[in-house]
Every structure is written in structure tokens, then in C-alpha cells.
Structure 1
Amino acid sequence: MAADLVVASRRVFDGLGDEVDPLSFAVEDGRITKVAHYDQADELVGPGARVLDLGDAFVCPGFHDAHQHVLHAALFPSALATEYRGTSEADCVSHMVEFARTRPADGWLLGHGWRETFWDSPMSPTRASLDAAFPDRPVAMYSGDAHTLWVNSAGLRALGIDEGTEPPAGGSFDRDADGRLTGVLREAAGMLYVGRVLGSFSMGELRGIYRDYFRRLNAMGVTSVCDMALSLVPGADGINPQVYEALLQADELSLRAHLFPTLGDDQSILEGLQSRWRGPLLRAPGFKQFFDGVSSQHTAWASDEYANPRFAGDVGRPTVAPERMRELVLAAAGRGHAVRIHTIGDEAVHAAVGIFEEARRLFGTPSQGANTLEHIEDIHPEDVARLARAGVVASVQPPHVTIDVDQPARDLGEWRAERMWPFDEFARQGVTMAFGTDAPVVPPNSLDVLWCAFERSAPDTHLPTGGWYSQHAVGRAAALRAYSAGSAAAVGRGRELGAIAPGMLADFVVWDADLLEVPAEEFQRARPMATYLGGRAVWEA
């Protein structure tokens, strides 16, 4: 067969090195078949091939967001829900009153984004404020870190929660001084019950917001995504495979999607998806589980006491008992399945690496994806080399570094803050990094991912000046690779995604600026000109 398309540019970052080269490449049936010098493009052209000479436009592999919660990321910017951080509890309630005017029915009102640490009075909210505004209509507000759900009394009733209800394992219900429910549900409890709220949306509504969201990602140069379970309770993980199948059947899936359901005793959920999904667009490479929570809520599992302990010996906690996690992971590994584990605290990371070391020793490498640790905000320095030796991918989200640069020292202490998110050490010691956003925890903006990786400052304010512990930054080429080839490694597709080379799927982005050379002050003004999936334009400016 002859090439369908020949692409040529004087500025191509192929992802295989650190340089930009003048290259041309031929695309046939969605894959790159040949790569040559820019001046040799004519030699690649066959009968009927379309030639795309881009001149000096910058071309790089498509970005692959290695960690998103797609339902939530697609939902909250839509008209079906609302995104709002707020300045206080009262401010958030007022915002929901305004939002209710756009949703005049009597069903759930859903919001996302509140973080009490940013409020004027950083106190945990209660249902009382919501009850005053919404005595009868159920309201749910999901926290910005996606680990806590705040509901009113009508919401508790709709969810079937009363004073005698037990929270799920790994979760908790806040109670006041009298022992009564406050309406705040944490960790596994929040994740489980928000899934029931989300179940109130129709398939038609979900399909529409997913389709629109994926086109938004295409406009940022994103060609692949990992949709990660957002609950440690199987069956309540929110990955919605039926929505993806509907989009695929309608030829409306404009990126490659990789779904990771929650790991439990029943592995048939994943295996059923794997038996159905063998094509290039839709895959289910492995499982997801949660080992701890977040440090801002003192639910991340740390080896030493928090700097501002809430009680003596406050080190957070595992959401799944270590022996239970070991049992689950080894059972999956025995059937060839990869597992991706949420680990934020250094003790959670340490324990998870040990489990993966044992899984590798007993069963080798997974058959599809790679064993991966998610987030890895704090890590024992000696555990970095263990990650590399065990072949564990570090799935990290650079924009998390600057969500609140004061929080790590406040909660964990300066001695831990200065070693957190050590991208430089991962790169130096040979740990494969996979970049993502954890959207909707932070926006899915692709340039923010890269900016925070090599500048270590907030993408909107560029503070702190000089970057937050800038010694842990990585160079632009390394950041681009982590956001493409690294994420491909996490889903076990390193031989067909993440580079511009023969045999690779032709997923690439054309930019109006050289992302390796453009001055830092102009970097965030760069814009994609076109995004290609399998050699087909899925977005054009």
C-alpha cells in the first residue's frame, strides 16, 4: 500500500532525543511507515498521497494525559453541574443558589471545587448552611481534591444515609460534638456516594458532555487519555465504559481512551472489557486502587507525624490495609494484570513499591499496561531507585506542585516539602514518568502540565518567583517525553504511541511555536494549529 499522507516540517520533535530536526514522515493506514529528512519528502510521496508541508511549524507527538477522571472533568465545565472554589462556606452556598436557577427541576444540584484551606475561615463546612438555602432539594458539592463530598440533609436522605449508616471501608462520615452527621463524607465514602449522584444523568447527557470534552482536549494537543477509577469500591468507579462504546460505535471518539476500573476480588470487569476492546482507540490496560488519601486532609499515609498533628501520632492512614492491598495486587498480577495505585504519602509509596517488587519477582511484568504509582507527592529518597529497578512507572501531575505551595510545609514540614515531586531524581535514576493532570482536580490544560514541570511555578501567576524547589524541575524535552512516551509506557503501548517513528500510530500535533525554544514568557501563548489522530485531523484552528 502507498502512503496516505506525507508530513514535512523543518522543526519536528520526534520524542526519541532532545533535539528538533527537519523531518518528513509517511503515514499509511493510520501508522507512520517511513521517516526521512525534510528535503527527502518527495521520495516518500506515492500515488494519491496528500502532502502536508508545514514549513517551520513545530510538530511533536500527541499528548497523553496519564491520569484523569473523565466523567467529572467533562461534567463540571458543562451546564449539568458547576465548578466553583469559593471564598467561604457561605459564598459556595450562594453560588449554588445562583446555579439552581439554571437547573429549575427538583433533581440533584451538583458542584465541584471547594477547598476550605482557601476560605476566609478555613473550617470544614456542614449541611446546616446548605439546608438553610435548600431545605428540600438534594445538593452535593464535591471538593477540589475529589476526596470529600459535602451534602445537605435532603441529599443525605436521597442517598439513604441516616445516623445509623456505616461508612464504607476506607471512608468516614464527619460528626459534630453531639455525634450527629455534619453532611461531610470523606475518602471512600465521598467517592462511593458521589457516584450515586452522578447516576442521575442520562446516557444522552453523558455522551454529549464526553464528546464535547474530548474535542476540547484535542484543541490542547491531547490525543490519548487514561480514565482512572475514582473510588476504591468496585462498581462505583465512574469510568462508564458504556459511554465510550456508544461514542466508538457512532465514530465520535476523537482520542485514544484507556480505562482503569477499581481492583477488587472479581477481576471479570476488567477481563470483560479486554475481551471486547482490542482496537486502537479503546483499551482497558489494568486496574486502579487507592492506598491513601491527601496530605491536606491528613489522610495521606506518612512515615512520620504530620507537622501540625490533629492528634498524637497523626501519620494519616492507609485506606486499604497493607496485607489486603498485597492480596489484591498479587491476585491481579497472577492473571497478568497491571495495577495503578494512588499513593501520596511516603509510607504509602514505600509499601506499594514493596508489593510491586514481589509481584514482579513472582509473576514478571503485566501483559498489557505497567504497574504504576499515581501521584507520588512525597517519597523516601532511597525508594526512587527501587521504582526504577522494579520497572514501576511514576504517574505524576506537575500542576499539583503549585495548587497551594504553602500547604506541604504547613502539613508535612519543610524537611519533607523540599523533597516532594522530585521529577529531576526520577529522570536521573531512570524512572519512567507519565505526566497528566488528575482533572478535574486541576484543569486539563496541556501547556500548564509542561510549564509546571520545567518552571515549577503556578501557570497563572508564575509564583513563586524562580519556582517552588526548582532543583526538581526537568527540561522541556524530558517533559514532552513524559507527556507522550511516558504515558504510553503506563498503558503498555510504548511500541506504538509516544514518538514519531516507523511503526508508531500517527498521533501528532502541529504548533505555532517551538515548545523547546520559545522564551518562557511566551510559552503559554503557544497554540496548536492542528491535532492528528492516526493521521486524521481531529481538530484544526
Structure 2
Amino acid sequence: MNIAKNNTPANTVIVSQNVFTGLNDEAKPLAVGIYADRICWVAPAAHIVEMLSDEADTTTTPASKIATALTTEFPTSKNAAILNYKNAFVMPGFHDAHLHFFHSALYASPLAEQFVGANEQDCVERLAPLAQRRPKGSWLLTQGWREYLWNPPVMPSKHSLDAAYSDRPVAMYSGDAHTLWLNSCAMEELGLNPSSQAPLGGTYEKNAAGELTGIVRETAAMELMPKIVATFSTEELLDAYRNFQAQLNAHGITAICDMALSATPGVDFVRDDLFQHLENTGELTVRTHLFPTLLSGTTRLSELQARLQSPMLRACGFKQFFDGVSSQHTAWLHKPYTNARFPDDCGRPTISPPAMKQLVFEAARANQSVRIHTIGDEAIHQALDIFEKCPTPKPIFTLEHVENFQPHDIERLANLDVIASVQPRHITLDPGGPKRDLGDERLPYIWPLRTLLQSGATLAFGTDSPVTNIDPLSAVYTAVTGRDADTRLPSSDWSVSEHITVAEALRAYTLGSAMATGRADELGSLESGKFADITILSSNPLICDTEDIPNIKVLATYVGGFLR
């Protein structure tokens, strides 16, 4: 790997009074020297900042002004661009450790709509703008509804959609991306009828009369999505991808992990073809790490790794589902849900533990990283059992979401060097939901961020977009305060003792995410030899009032030294 050394003259220097390298909890006056796409040195810069304090109100200063301030230890080209960011906060670029790029891009585009809705009828009425702009007879696709946030909080059915759209297919994906709400026209186009058999881990729900309700859950919903989106052209999807990566850059995000959204072969929505097109045309502006579905005997990952070897686009490992979500009682629990819907209502695994063990061991023998969706405490426990028994040497293992733990599994996760990939805004998605579903006894062990860190575990932060907004500062705010960035309301279920510091949250969103990709030697902190992926914020989140964190602006985003 061609890494710039300390003796390489910087052709760009970023200077600020507040530089957070991620190596400690402080922001200091530093200068960051960049050559090409790498950081070649990081120098103390108190005297440089003082020298530049009298400059005109501009970010660019001639290199000659600081030539004598930098010793031979930090060489700088005579024609270097000196970017004086004054008191702005300079930090490693945000790295979203868990999002679903295809769906995020789609629902942020004119091809679809995204909303929660106030109730079932409100959601139906919100389809009108989409129906007007999409071709007659084409699919109407939305994402975001959450029945537990509605008034009244009841599951919808096909009937309300049929009343408004009897002659065109409608598919409304839930906010947690685990459930589809379809109308009759959609089910007819998809070939669904009361005798249809759902795939393992999924359901086509029926009423007491045996009639399909239009609600399709888990793997069954994920299996249908490719058929629904097949009508969108490649160019339409590329436009959606371009638009979404621009939004990511605007939020200070320099890297992402694109996670498989299905356990079903061939429908995981990890679209390497779209990413490779953008890279080939020089349009890829977010460092992208692909995690396709973990399947037995597949060579897809090794083929991707052989083909995608650039610094901007890599395939880093596998992703698989072990359970669903607590709000729908599909997360796998050790003991029944507090508000059980039937005897022994513990959720269930989406794949049997012996089958998961076989898949993980096969991947480990190939030295491939494995990341597993585990929300319920039994899913976490069983996944840790598999990781623990896996022969050495072990690859990077990561558990996704980890909503609630069996107490002894927190320290066990740390001891096994398993990374905990968490999306802080999940904490406030369903006010009162954890207590409703899990009860008081389990509340001390939900999202135990502080306890995980104290146990020595690594946290990696992300958003699960489109499930939550891509804004990293909103997620940092929630991890630090326990409050929702939009409503500013506190989580009534999450213990204050599990809140973490701003510095810890920023490290989870940078270096922790880099560790989950296996690229901590290249990404995640401001150090010599690492890529110059840098985010500039308008103020210092380490010292500002925590209530101001969501209001901080992104002033600039650099990916590989280039302003995006």
C-alpha cells in the first residue's frame, strides 16, 4: 500500500484551533498536512493559529506565511494550500457503520415517498402527490409507517388502499423495513393468494376468514421487494444514488457500510453494479463498504473482492439476519414478551442456530468478516455462542443493533472482541415501546452503551437509514443525552447511566466503524498514513451545550483530500 510518509511535503494543510484526531478526548490547535489523498503529518499548531489570527476573513492563506512555522519534521510544499478553519471543529469523517443504500436512495428520490403518517387513512391520503407524478398504472412505493405511533395504534389492511387505488399497485414499507402493507392490485401482480406459502422466517397475514390482509412480514416482505422495484430503470436508480451520496457528504459522512437487507438469496439490495458505475465514471464520493448476504457455498463475496479493490469501493464481509424487531414481536427473546400475544411469545430466529453456525464457520474458514442482525437477547446470546465456538484464527465479528442483552452477555461480547454496531436513534424511535414489549426487568440491559465500553467492547455507530435519518450529529446527541434530536423528548426506558460522552460517540462514529470494516489502519482517525477523510463542523461538540449538538452545521467534507 502506497502510504505518504512524514517526509512527504504536504500540498494541502488544514489548520484549526479545534482539531479532534480521535486518539484522545480533546480538540487541540493542530495542522493536518495532506499529500494527494493521504494525511502525511499532524503537527502542533498553536503558533500557526496565532499567526493566522490576523488574516482576512478567508480560509486560504499563502503557504509562505507559515513556511517558517513548520519545522523540517513537517515539510510543506511552497505552493501548498493553507486552509485556515480558525475555531471550526476538524475531525475524522463520519462513517455510517450500518445503512441500506438502495432503499435510502430510493425513498429520498422522486421515485417514492417517505413518511410515518398520523394514522392509516392519513398514509393513504399522503400517496396523492406520488400518484400524480408517477406514470399511470405504475407502482406507488413508500416507506416509514409505524402503526405503534399512530392514533389509533392498529395495523392497517389492504381495504383502505383498495378504496383509493383499486387499479394500480401500492406497496408501503414499514419504518423498520420489516413489514410490507399491500393493496389487492399489488398482491395480484405479485401472484399472492390465500394458498401462497411464505418463505422461512416470513408470513403472509390472513384474517379470521382466511383472507389475505395485505400485511407481509420479515423474509416474505424482503423477498417481494425486488419485484416491486424492478420497474425502475438503471438510470433512474443511478440518479437516486448520486443524489443520496450528495446528501451523505453534506452531512459530513465520508464512508458507509451498505448492509444486506434480506436473508433471501439474490435479493439483498447490495447493488455493486450501481456503485461500480459511479466509480468508473469518477462520481463515487463516499467510501463504500459492501456486506452482501451470508449464504452457504456462495462465491459472491470473493468475486466482489477480486473485482472491487479500489480505496473507494470494497466488499468487506457478510451480513445475515438472526431475528426481526421487538415492536412486531419478531425479535428473538429468551423469555416471552411482557405483552405476549400468545403463550410462549418469544419471537423466533429467522434462521436456525445450527444453520447459522454452519454459515459462520464456513465464512470464518475463508477469513471473511461476518455481521449478524441481532436485536433480541436470545439472538445475541446464540450468536455469541457461535462466535465463541468458531475455530481460530477468527475474522472480525460484529453484531448489529443489539437492543437488549442477557446480563452476562455484555462482558462476554467484549471478551470475544465482537464489535457492537448500534444505531443510537433507535433508542427513541418507539417511546415507551421497550417497557411495553420487554418489561421493567429487562430495561437495565437495553442499549447498554456505557457498560459495553467499560467492559472493553468496541462500538460502531450508524443510522440504519432509511429507518432513521442519516444525520450523524442527531445520533451523537441521542447517545449522549438519551433524547430524540427532533422532539427533544427523553427516552423513558433507557437508563441515564448508559449514556456516553461526546468524544466516545464521535469515536464510535469514526474509528469504531472503521474497525467494523477491517480498515482501521486506513480510516477513522487523523493520523499519518491514513486517508484524508475529514469533516469540518461549525462548532466544537465536545464543549458546546449538548442541546446545541443537533444544530451544529457541516462546513466542509473532504474525501481523500478532495472537497465534496
TM-score w.r.t. structure 1 length?
0.96
2:316/2:517 contact within 8 Å kept: yes
Q: How does 1:77-116 map to 2 (within 5 A)?
A: 77-116=108-147
Q: How does 1:39-118 map to 2 (within 5 A)?
A: 39=47, 42=67, 43=70, 44-118=75-149
Rounded to whole Å, the distance in 2 between the matches of 1:12 and 1:76 is 35
Q: How does 1:373-392 map to 2 (within 5 A)?
A: 373-392=399-418
| 3-state SS, counterpart of residue 450 of structure 2 | helix
Residue 11 of structure 2 corresponds to residue 10 of structure 1: no
Q: How does 1:352-431 map to 2 (within 5 A)?
A: 352-359=383-390, 362-366=391-395, 370-431=396-457
Equivalent residue for 1:502, pick from 516, 519, 528: 528
* Deviation, structure 1 residue 466: 9.2
Rounded to whole Å, the distance in 2 between the matches of 1:28 and 1:73 is 33
Q: Which runs of 5+ in 1 are unaligned?
A: none
Residue 41 of structure 2 corresponds to residue 34 of structure 1: yes
Residue 251 of structure 2 corresponds to residue 251 of structure 1: no
One-letter amino acid of the structure 2 residue matched with residue 145 of structure 1: D
* Deviation, structure 1 residue 47: 3.3
Equivalent residue for 1:181, pick from 186, 209, 212: 212
* Deviation, structure 1 residue 51: 1.4
Structure-2 residue corresponding to 1:434: 460
* Deviation, structure 1 residue 53: 2.0
Rounded to whole Å, the distance in 1 between the matches of 2:249 and 2:468 is 17
Query: For residues 101 and 537 of structure 1, do their structure 2 counterparts lie closer, same or farther at Cα, with a shift above 3 Å needed?
Result: same
413-422 vs 485-494, which deviates more?
Answer: 413-422
Structure-2 residue corresponding to 1:536: 562
2:460/2:512 contact within 8 Å kept: yes
* Deviation, structure 1 residue 104: 3.5
1:267-318: CA deviations, max 9, x gaps?
2111111001111100110011000000100000001111011111111110
1:160-206: CA deviations, max 9, x gaps?
22222211111111011011211111000111112221222111011
195-204 vs 344-353, which deviates more?
Answer: 195-204
1:13/1:19 contact within 8 Å kept: yes
2:238/2:274 contact within 8 Å kept: yes
TM-score w.r.t. structure 2 length?
0.92
1:128-168: CA deviations, max 9, x gaps?
22112111211100000100011111111211222222111
Q: How does 1:279-290 map to 2 (within 5 A)?
A: 279-290=310-321
Residue 184 of structure 2 corresponds to residue 153 of structure 1: yes
Rounded to whole Å, the distance in 2 between the matches of 1:466 and 1:21 is 36
Rounded to whole Å, the distance in 1 between the matches of 2:420 and 2:519 is 16
Equivalent residue for 2:304, pick from 273, 282, 285: 273
Residue 516 of structure 2 corresponds to residue 490 of structure 1: yes
One-letter amino acid of the structure 1 residue matched with residue 98 of structure 2: H
Rounded to whole Å, the distance in 1 between the matches of 2:191 and 2:393 is 44
1:491-523: CA deviations, max 9, x gaps?
000111010011111101111101111112322
Query: For residues 175 and 313 of structure 1, do their structure 2 counterparts lie closer, same or farther at Cα, with a shift above 3 Å needed?
Result: same
One-letter amino acid of the structure 1 residue matched with residue 29 of structure 2: P
Q: How does 1:183-198 map to 2 (within 5 A)?
A: 183-198=214-229
Residue 535 of structure 2 corresponds to residue 521 of structure 1: no
Rounded to whole Å, the distance in 2 between the matches of 1:214 and 1:51 is 27
| 3-state SS, counterpart of residue 142 of structure 1 | strand
* Aligned residue pair count: 533
449-458 vs 37-46, which deviates more?
Answer: 37-46
Rounded to whole Å, the distance in 2 between the matches of 1:95 and 1:535 is 42
Rounded to whole Å, the distance in 2 between the matches of 1:524 and 1:350 is 34
1:330-386: CA deviations, max 9, x gaps?
111111111110000000000001111122xx13132xxx21000000011211111
Residue 30 of structure 2 corresponds to residue 23 of structure 1: yes
Q: How does 1:109-258 map to 2 (within 5 A)?
A: 109-258=140-289
Task: Select the structure of larger CA radius of gyration.
Answer: 2
| 3-state SS, counterpart of residue 381 of structure 2 | helix
* Deviation, structure 1 residue 465: 8.0
One-letter amino acid of the structure 2 residue matched with residue 87 of structure 1: A
* Deviation, structure 1 residue 484: 0.2
Q: Which runs of 5+ in 2 are unaligned?
A: 1-7, 49-65
Please report the RMSD computed on the Cα atoms of aligned residues, expressed in angstroms: 1.4
Identical-pair percentage:
45
Rounded to whole Å, the distance in 2 between the matches of 1:415 and 1:462 is 26
Q: How does 1:441-456 map to 2 (within 5 A)?
A: 441-456=467-482
Rounded to whole Å, the distance in 1 between the matches of 2:268 and 2:76 is 47
Structure-2 residue corresponding to 1:472: 498
One-letter amino acid of the structure 2 residue matched with residue 334 of structure 1: R
